[in-house]
Structure 1
């Protein structure tokens, strides 16, 4: 007798590619309800003084409340303060939903806050989030490359591995392409991304870069074809609104405990003509940086480790700004491999491309000659620990093995020195498959 839920009842056919989501066609599992979901906190421009929260409900909820209070040890939380959200409607393949944003300001640095959001006659769980501390306090943050495909089945374990490796992380950075589909086909994908992330978006401050898959092609394969910002992006995250006017929901910056982080929109720069505007904006953001460290986060890399990809306009227009201000780390995704390189013998900048999801590309010969280490066929997460004098970077495989690591030391005169961390590193990994399950020789895994 076949038992419901046994392996033989759901396993994919041998040799067949797994579907991108676990949702059967036409299933409305991730449709909005009166219960708040897709709850995600993001840093304010000054993350020591505030944060913002986005969440979703059905259309029966408009301008709901966020409640917050200083966290204590008693279940009696006292009388919380309230913030009224701003609500935006979104039409998807699962119907119309309401997306809400509430900004919490006037907080104290390095303080644990309790907060929850409202639905239709119900509330979310109470969540705990600690504001950023002083610039001289040590910071732990997580960094993930593209998640994009098979979020529930394959990405979830990478995110859990990162949380377990860095339980004290306060901030999480994502390099874009969080989901794969375009408007009209991706609401279930976003549902699976949040299911995979679990409580990570509520109890760390999440700061993503936008990827090309958060855009879609309008009038595709016609002379009128153009790149258009997907409707999910502006309402899914409550990000600082301090970027350039032409990309005001996808370029932003914030300060977090001794680090200035600037987030760029590579798709807008490459396809929508905003490279010059982003360069001028980035120049000002970095020139005003009072902190010892700086990080630039963007999706498309300055130096691509994949064959046939050359982001020339990024290098021509934006890279000189990064070099001029001696940015410490440039964190990137897009190319679904691992690769790191610097600028000759200089300690900084360090340019890093990584991937969290199961979609895996192959490395170019140029990447193998100019980057070290490099890697294929490997899901990774990154843990950064930072204090005023030291920045330690470690990339680990999903099973926790050290794949790459280095430390930047800040000298008294402000110069930086890089030390490679080689103890315990595993050997670089290569793809051993000749083609994917769909027959593609240019990729390692779909």
Structure 2
């Protein structure tokens, strides 16, 4: 047994792919800005936090109130890891402490460090050393540091990402839910018209003439598919019309030879063979008429005239009562109301009721009662007291040319025509059958 593959959702596919693209773009922008910042900012940006943290913890004043740096573990570790490290730390009042060998190019700045809050010093002809000035808050107040000589300056890009997270993290926190909520809604709205077209396509009936799918509002990527589908519908409709014309013409042409045969048989001497031939010709004539009814009903246009269901059923019973009585039945007509008006075809609805009664006459076992009844709600019911229809055949008796037994009377078009007429009137046909008889109801 083949396993059925699940159909991928275009809405879901577009939603998550677009969301990932937007997230990738936002991430690329953040990383790109960080790279750009690393290119224009001091290479010391990655080690600024290390030295400012160490000196912030080491800054203090001695008993005389002089500025000094305590030898704390963080500061010792920094000196150990960077043998070329140098710095000048100064308070805002000009007191300063230095460490290491300050390059000659920056020596003149040592006594001016307290004047700078932030600086990036590089590009001097006299040295390749890059110096920076940073401002840090300590226990004794503000301290400004001129430093350089780091052996490993780290990764400036990562330092910028770590330092600017208060900017992009809230942005992502707000943007990501918005993306995952907004993109699916946008995609759903873009595909809404496609869903409408799919619903309309599912409602198209096999014999529904002129049915086409709307192209307006359809995305241009999907429009060719809809246009191609409409073209297919048009071709199928043209072929169906050709078939209908052929069947109607064939049924018309059959009338003439059938009438000639009936005339010749009528001229034969009375006897069993003559009666058998007359029955065969009558059956052939009825089949031709049913073919005409079947195809004409498909082209019916008088579906909105006012009709009285009670009058239609009463007339059918009166017309077919002699035939039913001659076949061995009793026939009755019952109605809960005097009149039930509906909009429908005054030519097609009598044919539907007549076919139900004829079906009861043909298959009711030539005995019992045939009852035609009308409810106040507009339900027309035809019931017989025959042996019933086997359960395996009950769903098939409304198919064209289907007969429960191959040698049964009729061509198998009667109930199919009933179903078609009722469907054209947006009604329903129901069947109940058992050993005590069959009941077929039309609801309009």
Shorter-chain TM band:
under 0.3
Normalising to structure 1: TM-score of the pair? 0.19
Normalising to structure 2: TM-score of the pair? 0.19
Larger strand proportion of the pair: 1
Higher relative contact order (CA 8 A, sep 6+): 1
Larger helix proportion of the pair: 2
